[in-house]
Amino acid sequence: MTTLRLALCQVNPIVGDLVGNATIIREWARRAADAGAQLVAFPELTLTGYPVEDLVFRRSFMEASKAALERLAADLAADGLGDLPVVVGYLDADGPPQVNGDAEPGHGARNAAALLHDGKTVATYFKHHLPNYGVFDEDRYFVPGETLSVVRVGGVDVTLTICEDLWQVGGPFAAARQANVGLVININGSPYELKKDDVRLPLVRRRAAEAGATIAYVNMVGGQDELVYEGDSMIVTAEGELLARAPQFVEHLLVHDVHLPAAADGPPADIELADGMRVLHHCIGSLPAATTDKSAVGELLEPAADEAEVWQALVLGLRDYVDKNRFRSVVLGLSGGIDSSVVAALAVDALGADRVVGVSLPSQHSSEHSREDAAELAKRTGLDYRVEPIQPIVDTFLANLSLSGLSVENLQARVRGVILMALSNQEGHLVLTTGNKSELAVGYSTLYGDSVGGFNPVKDVWKTLIWQLARWRNGEAVRRGETPPIPESSISKPPSAELSPGQLDSDTLPEYDLLDPILIGYIDGDLGRDGLIEAGHDPALVDQVLRMVDTAEYKRRQSAPGTKISMKAFGRDRRLPITNRWREDGRAAGAAGRLGGE
């Protein structure tokens, strides 16, 4: 057996920031070297950020990525790290993009990994399995690789794989077994989903058994538009033993001494496998000397509980959206209700109270207890709190327009949106909208009113989970000896938009404990009407809910981006036509039935 000191760098790159991302790699490679590492790995497409989406089609960006990799290799050597093998994800190409008229079959853009050593690229691997589901469109962008690069590092045969390769049987991991490798490096840009960490470890164990080798799994961390990455990097032996596991939602250097089988004597031979994959062998020269200090043992951390995990994901997604897009602060309507209270608490946790503005926008229908709850939350969290009554503005509209009923309700919401956007323009804040996933699903919102904003931290959070998160966050504050941020009355009172006298959500919608299970089955689970009824839901209620969901697609298409935490978030995960007369009961859609107007 041979011992290698591995370093997995769980870092937070920014899409398109080639210079900044290269600096991250150099800084963390230095930290790894200072910890005595002999092999270092960074996540998928760290050099370019991930996902790069249609930047792939720009030859200028492609060439910049390749040049940045070459420059990075030289810079690492100049930093005195030339003898340290560094695995880096980057964007490569061996031909024009497949959308180009002069594209060549089997050539094009590549999701690639490179092993850098001694100032140059020693080996390159192109991702074999390209995901084409959910948020992933890699068949649109990349051409799959058919070659497995095996590099002899310190007497151990090491191979490189990328993300989706781990999720599929066969391909690179089967080839790794046939090549008798001792270690598989798997670099990842694997977005967070609730309970995905429960799936990840068993999956890595299955692939380790398939490859007959230890797997070093490194995942990125941070927010990128709707996506958030939680890290959760780990090392698992061929026998399934978990050696080390990194924390979630923070950058982290995981260093661990791994005992690996020594490579066979003699020069290895390149081989062609029956499934069409080729195995090519490479060898690097000297490594950093094995440390004589005590052995390195990485942390072995357990994933967080569900509510804690979701809260951390939402905080990180919001923070990175604001900071990476260079907004200095955020503003939101603070009604005293549960949704805006949770968003305000998230914003304060993400950015600090000095970067959060909460605005109470009372009308004549706003209850005294809601105003008090909004003020109380502001006092508890320390955010910048303001009161801007909307009734005089609403009355001016009503004096000049003949409106009644729902039109007046929507007018109030739109006046609030205008005020928030005016504050955004005047003071430079990003407007946060606060509609939860249940409301988005059934269209319970006003276009250009309560839906106004540039980012929605709770867009992918069901209403029932909103309450769970509020209770968890308050309980966590008590555990820490702090003041709970959310007033108890905001959690316990019946939800209401307060746009008309005595209004409650339940006047229009089913109770959320009945509504959410139907929505989860229909949206996240893709169950049809029959499947939902078989699951025990009332047929009349199913018909009502599905009708509301189907007729609200046009609203969702205009909604702000928000952090994805579920298996199927609105937006890139779920793509349905707006103009669509298919209905689950088999009847064509009529013209009526839109909830809440527009």
Structure tokens at 134: 């959910």
- 159 forms beta bridges with 150, 184
Beta strands in 191-233 (DSSP E): 214-219, 221-224, 227-230
Report the distance separating Cα 375 and Cα 487, nearest Å.
10
Nearest to 495 by CA among 519, 516, 525, 524: 516
Kindly report whether the peptide bond that precedes residue 13 is cis, defined as omega within 30 degrees of 0.
no
Structure tokens at 452: 């106004």
Report helix, strand or coil for 99. Answer: coil
Strand order in 330-333's β-sheet? 384-387, 356-360, 330-333, 430-431
CA dihedral of 115, 133, 310, 438, whole degrees rounded to 10: 160
Q: Which residues are catalytic?
A: 44, 127, 163
Nearest to 195 by CA among 310, 114, 88: 310
Tokens 């005016």 belong to 422
Report the distance separating Cα 256 and Cα 174, nearest Å.
25
Nearest to 116 by CA among 46, 41, 65: 41
Report the distance separating Cα 596 and Cα 275, nearest Å.
56
Q: Give, in degrees to the nearest 5, the angle at Cα 122 between 148 and 150.
A: 30
Report the distance separating Cα 447 and Cα 558, nearest Å.
8
Report the distance separating Cα 284 and Cα 119, nearest Å.
12
Sign of CA dihedral 317, 319, 323, 325: positive
In Å, what is the CA distance from 379 to each residue of 322, 375, 485, 486, 493? 23, 6, 9, 10, 20
